[in-house]
Each structure stands twice: as structure tokens, then as C-alpha cells.
Chains A and B, each alone.
Chain A
Amino acid sequence: MILTLTILLAVIIAIAWAAFNAAYLVLAERRGAGIIQRRPGPNINGPFGLLQPPLDGIKLMAKQLIIPDGADKFMYISAPVLVMCPAIMSFVALPYSDWLQAQNIDVGLLMVFAFASMGTMGIVFAGWSSRNKYSLMAAMRSVSQAVAYEIPMIITALTITLMAGTTNLDAIVAQQSENFFHWNIFPLFGETHNILMPFSFLIFFICSMAETNRAPFDLGEAEGELVAGFHIEYGSMGFGLFFMGEYANIVIGATLATIFFLGGWSCPFGLFPGVWWFLIKMYAIIFTIIWIRWTFPRTTIYGLLNLSWKILIPASLVNLLLTAGLMKVF
């Protein structure tokens, strides 16, 4: 009974954390865009504009729900849920500190990636069921993009697994405790020595950005070509869920990058390890993602696929092989 209650509480906290981040990262993005473009951004509603996300949420929830004529009703309604739910599920396995984790799962890494790839399913559902040529085209683009970038991402995660010898996210962080030179991004004194890890981090970072359909890789919702992409027929909270799912996925990508490469909750100088270091690293990565979005123009679909199939996949494969070789030698 007690166990069930603790698990329930943990899951509720995970959901609240995901929703909170999704809502307030939208505001962070809008304010960040403002700062980058030398304007204030939404700052009037509440202190520092902090009331803007709840106001937007209220408006979206109170808006009329339109289901287009001829749409596949079941798929149309389930698509936004299919984008948001797997994202929230992944949060259950993510460790934020040695005690702050909903469930310590031995195959945590596998579970996060399994749920992350389910989000693409929601996009396909949305594109197919809304009976709109733009949304269908956008869904096809999104799928080709997801397939192309999931491979190098998972191969990079495999490299990490090879070095750590475990798929338990908690254990992966535990191996990188102590100072900066023990972290996987630059493992000079750690248990494993691998000079290729900075490249792995770069590949992982690019892939996590492409996986979440972020600019400069947001071909799935290119306004100039596809009006609004796969969510063109979604108004009201359906659209809101797509938006929140995107931001939840960004948080997952940043969290994974922190766990795999930046030593999780360990401090760069070996002082006071704790959840605050984790949050600092995670939000630094998220800020970089926002920064990139408002700095770079969108790529073309050919450039996007070429980058993955011609550069990232071979590079990550070579990386994996060399890592295996280095581990054998040392």
C-alpha cells in the first residue's frame, strides 16, 4: 500500500514537472527571442510576464474545438495525447539527483528512447487524420527526419552504454562523479579514457535538436511551405498539447545530454554535488537550444537529410567502433 502510494506520488510529481517546464519554457522562449531581437517580449502580464503561460492556457482551453469534416475522428483526437503522454512517461525514468528520481529502472536508457520514438507516431496520426494535404506532407517530412536522426542518436547512446557498461541512468551518472575531468564529455581521469567524446556530444546535441523538430531543423512546420505543418487543423488545446509535447521533449533531450556527458548532478569542482548542478547544466543546454533557434535560418529538407545520412550516421558508427577499440586497448 505504502509502496503504491509513493509510486503514485512520484508519478504525479513527474507529470507536474513536465507540465510546468513545458508551460514556462514557452515563456522563456518568447522572452529569449525578445532579448535576442532587442525587444522586451511578453513582460506586462504579471511580474516579468510570468502570468502569460496560464493566460494562454486558459484561452486555448476555452476555444472552440473543431474536428474537420471527413477527418478520422479517433486518430484526430488521439494524436495530441500520443505526443504528450510518452514525453511525460519518459520523465519517470530520469534521475535528477541520487535521491530525486521517480523510479530507478535498470533499462532506463532503453525506456526513454522507446518512449521518445513513440512521439513520432502522434505526428503521423495528426498528419494523416486531419485530411489536409499540407499536414500529410509535413507528417511525411517529420517521419523521414525522425528516422534519419534517431539512428545516430541511438548509436551515440550505445557508445555511452559501451563505456559505462550499464543502461541504468543512475549508474551512468555515478561513474562520472567528482570533477569536470571525470565527465564523459572530456574523460581525462575517469574510469574510461576516450578522446572522441566531445564529438559524440556534438552528434548527440544536433540529433536531440532535430528529434524535437526545433529550428534550424523544423521542416515539419515550415510556415513558408506548409502553412503550419502537421498541426495545421488543430486549434484549441490539441494544438496546445503539441506545443507542450515539443517542449517536454526538449527537456528530455537536455536531461539526457546532462546525464550522458555532463556528469549529471556532480559539480565541476567536486563541491556540493546535488540537484542544483543538474538544473544549471540542463537549463544551460535548453538556453543554447533556444539561442540557436533564434539565430540560424531553417535548412532545406535535402540539407537536413544529407547531414544525417552522409555525415552523422557514418561519424557515429566510426565513433562507436573506435570507442570499442580504445576500450580494448586501454
Chain B
Amino acid sequence: MGKENIPESVVQLAIADDIIKIGRANSLWPLTFGIACCAIEMMATGGSRFDMSRFGAEVFRPSPRQADLLIIAGTVTKKMQPGIKTLYDQMPEPKWVMAMGNCAISGGPFAIKENYNVVLGADTFLPVDIYVPGCPPRPEGLLQGIIELEELVSDWKRFKDPEKAHSRQPSIRAQADKEV
């Protein structure tokens, strides 16, 4: 899904809109909803070592009425699909969907000839905003996904100066090569 440019109300107040967007970006409450193995990584992300609460996103709400973000963490089977659709419909606007892991993106390891019950990708029936690849993605991956989603929601970057972050990467890799 690209970015939609639908005005949210009749009266548009630029500053108020910006503040609301920042508010939304900084408190993305996910739905407590794990489907398969990727959910284990999602739990780890909420745990002490990675701690997504730093970004204000640790409030896993059990009720879809209070959630902003639906993280599809795992294999979507044909039996599960209507349930997920219902949960998505029950969430109030504005809401976002994240496809976490290869299963939710494209069927992943189940996209084979013999497959009879796995839906090949959550985007076949839901408007997915962010894809986090991996089988399973590491918790850092999910955090990156949330930070990217924050930018998508509000046009506001949490961490400025990405060049610096990229320039550090080769050196880390070089170090790892040396260790090997």
C-alpha cells in the first residue's frame, strides 16, 4: 500500500494535524495476537533484552478496540484468515498492519506445490503497511519495522542522520570478518 492522501476531517489545521500524527507515531499499541513461530520473536521484542517499550509500543492490548497496530506474526492458514479479517475490521481507525516474517509476506516456506491450507501472504486480504522479512525476523528487525512505521505514520524520523548509521555498518562487518 502506498501512502494515501485522504484528508481526515473537513477542517484542516496543519499544526494540530502534525501534533496528532506525532502522537499516533509514538504510541503504536499492538494487538496481543501471535499466530505461529514469529510470535515468539515478537514476545522477545517486548522482553527485557530488546524492550520495545522504549518507543512507547509495549502496551499490547488484548481488545482490538484499543489497538492501533495489527502485527501478523506467523503463518496465516485458510482457517485463520476469517478470524484475522474480523479482528482487523473491529479495530477503530486509524489502524496499521505489519506483516512479520516470510509466512505473512508471501507464504514463506509453505509456498510450495503441495500446500493446500496456507494463505500466500497477508496482503492478499489485508492492506499491509510494513513488511518485515525473515524466518523469523530478529527482534531488531521488528523494532526497525516499528520505527519505519512511525515514519510512515507521521513523516517524522525518530533517528536522524541515517548516513552515519550506514557508514558504521561496513566497519562492524570488517571486524566480524577479522574475527573469523
Contact = CB atoms under 8 A, between A and B. Distances in A.
Contacts of A188: none
Interface string A35-64: 001111111110001011011111100111
B27 A235 contact: no
Size category, B interface: 20 to 34
A30 B23 contact: no
Interface residues of A, number: 35
B113 interface: no
B48 interface: yes
Classify the secondary structure of A's interface with B: loop
Contacts of B63: 227-228, 231-233, 235
B20 interface: yes
A166 B94 CA distance: 53
Contacts of B58: 30, 42
Interface in B16-38: 19-20, 22-24, 26-27, 32
B53 A34 contact: yes
A311 interface: no
B127 interface: no
B65 A234 contact: yes
A1 interface: no
B49 to A, nearest CB: 8
B110 to A, nearest CB: 29
B68 interface: yes
A239 B32 CA distance: 17
A220 B54 CA distance: 28
Nearest to B20: A62
B92 A223 contact: no
A41 B65 CA distance: 24
A238 to B, nearest CB: 9
Interface in A2-37: 30, 34, 37
B77 interface: no
Shortest Cβ-Cβ A-B pairs, 7 listed: A58-B23, A235-B65, A64-B92, A228-B63, A39-B51, A39-B48, A64-B93
Interface of A: 30, 34, 37-45, 49, 51-52, 54-59, 62-66, 223, 227-228, 231-236, 239
17 contacts: A34-B53, A39-B49, A39-B53, A40-B51, A41-B54, A54-B23, A55-B27, A63-B68, A65-B92, A227-B62, A227-B63, A228-B61, A228-B63, A228-B66, A233-B65, A235-B63, A239-B65
